[in-house]
């Protein structure tokens, strides 16, 4: 593998701003690199995901490497040390938005798949640079998987070069309290929906949540609140809505999560509606990703053959990975949590490196990840 070209390609990807719905230029750059590296087939699907295919010499399973190419934005008012899309190398790290989450892993996929000896492989390698992951986990990956029917999936989200066999899921929950309007000079004649919501929030904040030995605790985080009418000129608000980000554990269902909220004993007498958010996002190609925002958690046992194969492959590449799980939600919520396809996570950088100011990725970890992906290919498809 040409490490210098891998590094330069990663820098180039970082230099393309690619917030959700605007990934077109970076997708085209991935396609260009796949053609240059000699992929057997390269295309862009209906939802804008770049896909590259490498065929082994003999038939066998399809191994899919998925890395999203969209990134979060740049928070206003929080200065970076330098241009967040510079892609420059400083103190041994590639600097810029998306370097750690997760254009470095995507670049390493692309180069690893092109570097193995395909005459020794039984099966095919697919690399996808998927879109919209930051706003709808698994939505674009579903389209890829429907077309290619992979038998095994690698998610390249950050693991600090460790191996993840599970991950927490995510649900976006909207709660609404219904009050009764009145003039604010006579609040006793109405029912203040904001005050009711304050009771709801207090009950939720003290609610016991489950925990999992691998995935850790479930989380319920308040992310926004608004009342109606707004502004409330001399009117007691009759509606109040909040959004909660609920981090899910394996086995949790949408109905169960909502039932646990609606059944809180301290909320008797409050008119409360609880539902999951309906998501709809448009890709840069004009296609839509839509559905209820419930992305299930997933766990595979350590004895799962694919977990053991990938572990063997990483060790053969000179790495010493620990086995763990993602604490955030990834596209594996679909590949593993919905589709049930054996899935693991392996990537450079740590979870804490994602979405931060002055995001960066160590060059040595980028190169180690590419070697690890090669090891995984050889361990799973080697004939």
- The residue segments making up the domain with residue 275 are 170-282
Residue 205, φ and ψ in degrees, nearest 5: -65, -25
pLDDT in tens, 165-198: 999 999 999 999 999 999 899 899 999 999 999 9
The H or E element that residue 241 is part of is strand 239-248
**Residue 292, in any domain of the structure:** no
Per the structure, how many domains does the chain have? 2
pLDDT of residue 233: 87
Q: Which of 282, 305, 333 is the last residue of a domain?
A: 282
What is the model's pTM?
Answer: 0.93
**Residues 187 and 204 placed together within one structural domain of the fold:** yes
Claim to verify: residue 54 and residue 100 sit in the same structural domain? yes
SS3 142: helix
Residues 6+ apart with CB under 8 A from 329: 137, 167, 168, 169, 170, 247, 295
In a domain, 289, yes or no: no
CATH assignment at residue 174: 3.30.70.360
Q: Is residue 153 part of a domain?
A: yes
- Which CATH number fits the domain that encloses residue 343? 3.40.630.10
Q: Do residue 340 and residue 375 come from a single domain?
A: yes
Of the pLDDT bands very low, low, confident and very high (cuts 50, 70, 90), residue 383 is low
Q: Are residues 161 and 302 in the same domain?
A: yes
89-90 β-sheet, strand order: 89-90, 93-95, 360-362
Burial annotation 340-364 (CB, 10 A radius, 16+ → b, else e): ebbbbbbbbbebebbbeebbbbbbe
Q: For residue 228, which of 240, 216, 246 has the smallest C-alpha distance?
A: 240
User: Are 236 and 106 contained in the same domain?
Assistant: no
- Of 253, 282, 311, the residue at which a domain comes to its end is 282
Note the pLDDT tens digit of each residue in 249-281: 999 999 999 999 988 988 888 999 999 999 999
d(Cα 350, Cα 344) in Å, to the nearest integer?
A: 16
pLDDT higher than 90, residue 131: yes
Q: Using one digit for the tens of pLDDT, what is the confidence trace for 7-65?
A: 999 999 999 999 999 999 999 999 999 999 999 999 999 999 999 999 999 999 999 99
pLDDT tens, position by position, 279-333: 999 999 999 999 999 999 999 999 999 999 999 999 999 999 999 999 999 999 9
Distance between CA 125 and CA 381 in Å, rounded?
A: 9
Last residue of a domain, one of 248, 282, 316: 282
* Mean pLDDT computed over every residue of the chain: 95
CA 251 to chain centre: 19
Contacts of 88-93 spanning 24+ positions with Cβ under 8 A: 88/11, 89/7, 89/11, 89/363, 90/360, 92/362, 92/363, 92/364, 93/360, 93/361, 93/362, 93/363
């Amino acid at each position: 593998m040409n490490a210098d070209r891998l590094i330069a390609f990663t820098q180039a990807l970082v230099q393309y701003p690619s917030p959700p719905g605007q990934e077109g230029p970076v997708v085209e750059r991935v396609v260009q690199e796949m053609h240059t590296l000699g992929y057997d087939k390269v295309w862009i699907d209906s939802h804008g995901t770049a896909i590259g295919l490498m065929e082994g010499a003999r038939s066998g399973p399809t191994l899919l490497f998925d890395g999203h190419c969209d990134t979060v934005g740049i928070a206003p008012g929080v200065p970076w040390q330098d241009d967040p899309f510079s892609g420059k190398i400083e103190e041994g790290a590639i600097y810029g938005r998306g370097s750690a989450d997760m254009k470095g892993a995507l670049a390493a996929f692309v180069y690893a798949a092109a570097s193995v000896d395909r005459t020794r492989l039984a099966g095919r390698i697919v690399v996808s640079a998927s879109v919209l992951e930051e706003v709808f986990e698994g939505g674009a990956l579903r389209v890829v998987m429907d077309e290619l029917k992979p038998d095994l999936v690698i998610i390249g989200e950050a693991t600090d070069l460790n191996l993840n066999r599970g991950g927490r899921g995510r649900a976006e929950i909207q709660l609404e309290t219904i009050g009764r309007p009145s003039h604010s000079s006579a609040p006793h004649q109405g029912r203040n929906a904001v005050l009711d919501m304050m009771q709801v929030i207090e009950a939720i904040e003290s609610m016991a949540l489950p925990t999992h030995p691998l995935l850790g605790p479930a989380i319920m985080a308040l992310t926004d609140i608004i009342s109606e009418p707004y502004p409330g000129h001399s009117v007691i608000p009759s509606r109040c809505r909040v959004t909660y980000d609920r981090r899910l554990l394996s086995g949790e269902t949408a109905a169960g999560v909502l039932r646990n909220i609606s059944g809180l004993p301290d909320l008797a007498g409050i008119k409360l509606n609880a539902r999951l958010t309906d998501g709809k996002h448009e890709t840069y190609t004009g296609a839509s990703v839509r559905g209820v925002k419930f992305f299930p958690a997933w766990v595979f046992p350590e004895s799962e053959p694919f977990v053991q194969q990938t572990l063997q492959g990483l060790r053969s590449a000179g790495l010493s990975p620990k086995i763990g799980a993602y604490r955030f939600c990834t596209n594996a919520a679909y590949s593993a949590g919905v589709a049930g396809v054996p899935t693991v996570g392996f990537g450079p950088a740590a979870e804490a490196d994602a979405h931060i100011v002055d995001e960066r990725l160590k060059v040595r970890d980028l190169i180690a990840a590419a070697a690890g992906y090669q090891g995984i290919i050889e361990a799973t498809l080697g004939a």
